Structure 1
C-alpha cells in the first residue's frame, strides 16, 4: 500500500505534531507499506522533528498548495489512499481516492471562546460536518470524542472508528534525565508544571486564579511551557498582539502573581528538555476543559513517576482508566477546586509520588499497535471505496 498523508496546512505544534511524528514512522514499519508520503506545510519544520535515515519508504514534502492543484495531484497519483491528518481549518476537497481523516476534537463547538461571533462558530460547524460526512472513514481518538461527533453531526458518525493516540512518545529509559544548562538557569529549584499551548480551553485563567491563592506558591511556583506562554512575560502597556493573552496578563496583574517568583512562563522548550522538566516537577497540573483523546503531558508525567492533578472531564477519565496511579481530580470550572487539589497534593505528596512511581510500568499500547489499527482502517476504506465490501 502507498499512503499519502495530506497536511499542507499548519497543524497544532503541540499534540498534533507529536502524534504525527510518532505515527508516521510507525506506519512505515508495517507490513506491505511501500510508501508513506507526507505533504506538510514548511512552517511546521517537520523534517527537523524526526530522523528518517532508517526509513527509505518515507517521503516528506514541504508544500502549501491545494491538493487539486497540478502539484497536489502529482503527489496523489501513485497513492492508494489519502489520509487527511488535520481537518481542522482547511475546507474539504474531494479527490478520486479513498479518504480518511482523524477528527481530533470538537473544542471549538463545545467551548466557544469569548467574543467569537456566531457566524464564525457556524462556519466551523459547517466545515466540520462536510469533512465527517464526505470522507470514506473517520477516526477519532476516544469514545467520548465519538459521542461528541454524533451529538453535533448525527448518527452517521456512529461509523467513526476509535483509535487512541495520547500515549507516551518515548519510554523513560530512552529519555535523558538532565535538564540542559541554559534552561536550568531559568527554572526554580522546585515547581509544579503545566505544559500546554495558550488556547482558552486549556484553562490557564482558572489555574492562575487558583495559584494566586495557593499557600505554597512561593515554595512550589508554577512553570508554564508551550506555544506562546512566553508572552505572559509582557508587562502593560507592552500588550502582546495575540488573541486571549492580554486577558491573562490583565488577570496576572489583578491577582498579583509575581513573574519569576510565583510563575515562570518559558514558551517552547527543546524537545530533549520536555521529559526532564516533567520528571523533576513536584507534580503536573492539567486544568484543560476539553481534550480529544487525552493529554500527552499527563501520560508522560505518569510514565516518569510524576504525580498528576487533572480536570475531571469525561475524556480524561477515559484516558486515565488504564493507569493505576492515584490521580488528584478537580473541577476545571472552579478555581477553588483547583486550589484544593494543589493543597491536597502538598499534604499528601509522598503517597502520590509513591503511587505514580509504582504505576510507571502500567501496560500500554505501542506506536506500532496504533499504526496497525490505522492501516487496517485504510485497507477497509480502500475496499469500501472500490465496492469490495
Structure 2
C-alpha cells in the first residue's frame, strides 16, 4: 500500500483568518507539489465556518486546470446532507436511484462505502414500526439544526459537555465514515479532535516555542493571555500523550532536527523516536515576483521612507528579540548615521521594545508598514541596507533571510541552532558561509555588522552568493519527494 489519497485536517471549530499564517503557506505548497510530482488526490476537511477561508487559501490550486482535479473540500454539512438523503432513500427507495444520488454528490468513486452504509441503515431499521418512524422524524426535525442527532438510528452521537453546552463533532464522523485518505496531515498540533480520526496521522510539529520562552512571554504579554495559551498547549499535548499510550498511528514531522530533538521528543511523552522525522523547508518565492518589483522612489514615497533603512519583516513576538535591534539602532544613531528601521509588525506588541523606543526617542526613526503585498515585501528587501533576523528561535533557516538573499540584499542573522544546523547540513561552516552572524543578545556586534554593510554592501552580496545559490536551489519539489517517501514508509510499516 502506498500514498494515493492525502487528507488535510483543518478541523478547528472557531473562525480563523488563515491567509498570513506560515503554516498555511507550508500546507498549500506541500499539497501543490505532491499533486504536481505524484498526482496525489487530496481531501481537505474543514468546518463550514472556515470553508471560505480554506477556499481562498487554496484558490490558486482550485482554479488551476490541473491541480483542481485532485482537490476536494468537505465540511460537516456533507455528513448531515448525505445522511438526510440516505434516510429519505431508505423510506422511498422505490423512487430513488442510488447512482443518481452519488452523481449529485459528485462522489461516484465512493460508491462502495455508500452502498455498504445503506445496507446497514436498512438492516437497522427493519424492525421499526410506523409509530417509531413518525417519532423519529419529529425529533429529527427538532434537533437537526444543532447537528447532534443521528437521523437514521434515533440516537445521540458522541455528545460532549463544554461550558454547559453540547456539541457533536460531525466533521470527524464524516471523515471516519467517508474519507478514503491513506493518512491525514494535521498542520497544527492543537487541533486534537483529529486524534479521533481512524486513519494514520502526520502531525507537522514545527515548534513548541512557548515552552522555551514562557518567562519571556509572561513579561511581554498579558499574564492571563499567556496562561491561557500555556493551558491550551498543555491540554493538547496531554491528549496526544494519552493517545500515544495505546496507539502508534502518529508520525511527527518537524522542519529541522533541532526541533525534532528539542521540542517533539523533549516536550511530548510517549513519542517513539522512530516515529519522528524532519524535512527542511525552502523559502516560498511568489510566481513572477521579479517582474512585480516597484521602483525605489515609488516604494519610499508610499511608506514615507526618506533615508537608508534596515528591514525587519516579521510579526513582533517575544522571541523575535526586537529589543536587540533597537539597541543597535540607537548605537548607529548616536554615531550620526542617517538610517531608519522599517517594520512590518507593530512595535507596541512588545512592551519592552516599545518602552525602550519611547525612552530613547527612537520612534521618529521607526516606520511601521503593517501587512504589505508580496511585491512590496520583496521590494522592501531589495532596497534595504540589510535584512536583519534577531530571533532567539526559528523553526528552520529564517525565511526573511532567504527572501533578502533572493533579492541580493545582505542578510544579518542571529546565531541560533536551527540556522547553524541548516548551514552545516549543506557542508558549510558559518565562518565560511559569507553570511553575517551575531550572538542573539549582542547588540554591539549587530551594530558593527550593520555599519560594515553600509560601507560594503556589494562586497557582502558577492560573498553570500555561493550559500545563496545552494539554499535557493533547494525547492518544494525536493520537499514533496522527501515527504512522499517518509509518508509512504510510514504507511507500509504501520
TM-score bucket (shorter structure)? 0.7 to 0.9
Q: Which has the higher helix share?
A: 2
Change (3 A) 1:44 1:298: farther
Q: What do you get for the CA RMSD once the two structures are aligned?
A: 3.4
Change (3 A) 1:333 1:14: farther
What TM-score does the superposition give when structure 2 sets the normalisation length? 0.66
Counterpart Cα distance in 1 of 2:392 and 2:27: 23
Are 2:320 and 2:391, in contact at CA under 8 Å, matched by a contact in 1?
A: yes
Are 2:256 and 2:418, in contact at CA under 8 Å, matched by a contact in 1?
A: yes
Change (3 A) 1:22 1:203: same
Mapped pair 1:107 → 2:116: no
Q: Tell me the SS of whatever aligns to 1:221.
A: strand
Change (3 A) 1:93 1:142: same
Deviations, residues 238-263 of structure 1 (Å, cap 9, x unaligned): xx7xxx4444322210121033xx11
Change (3 A) 1:123 1:179: same
Residue 4 of structure 1 deviates from its aligned partner by 1.4
Residue 309 of structure 1 deviates from its aligned partner by 0.6
Change (3 A) 1:17 1:272: farther
Mapped pair 1:204 → 2:328: no
Deviations, residues 210-247 of structure 1 (Å, cap 9, x unaligned): 2122247853311111xxx2x44xxxxxxx7xxx4444
Deviations, residues 294-325 of structure 1 (Å, cap 9, x unaligned): 21111111122211111111111123344775
Deviations, residues 325-375 of structure 1 (Å, cap 9, x unaligned): 511111112333332332333343332122234554336322122112222
Unaligned runs of 5+ in 1: 233-239
Aligned mate of 2:406, from 298, 303, 306: 303
Q: What number of residue pairs does the alignment pair up?
A: 369
Counterpart Cα distance in 1 of 2:357 and 2:402: 29
**Partner in structure 2 of residue 147 of structure 1:** 261
Greater relative CO, 1 or 2 (CA 8 Å, sep 6+): 1
Counterpart Cα distance in 2 of 1:201 and 1:249: 15
The answer to which of 18-27 and 280-289 deviates more is 18-27
**Partner in structure 1 of residue 169 of structure 2:** 69
**Partner in structure 2 of residue 237 of structure 1:** none
Mapped pair 1:96 → 2:198: yes
The answer to which of 350-359 and 280-289 deviates more is 350-359
Mapped pair 1:4 → 2:11: no
**Partner in structure 1 of residue 362 of structure 2:** 257
The answer to which of 311-320 and 358-367 deviates more is 358-367
Alignment of structure 1 residues 113-132 onto 2, 5 Å:
113-115=217-219, 116=223, 121=230, 124-125=233-234, 127-128=236-237, 130-131=239-240
What TM-score does the superposition give when structure 1 sets the normalisation length? 0.81
Mapped pair 1:18 → 2:21: no
Counterpart Cα distance in 2 of 1:286 and 1:43: 34
**Partner in structure 1 of residue 70 of structure 2:** 57
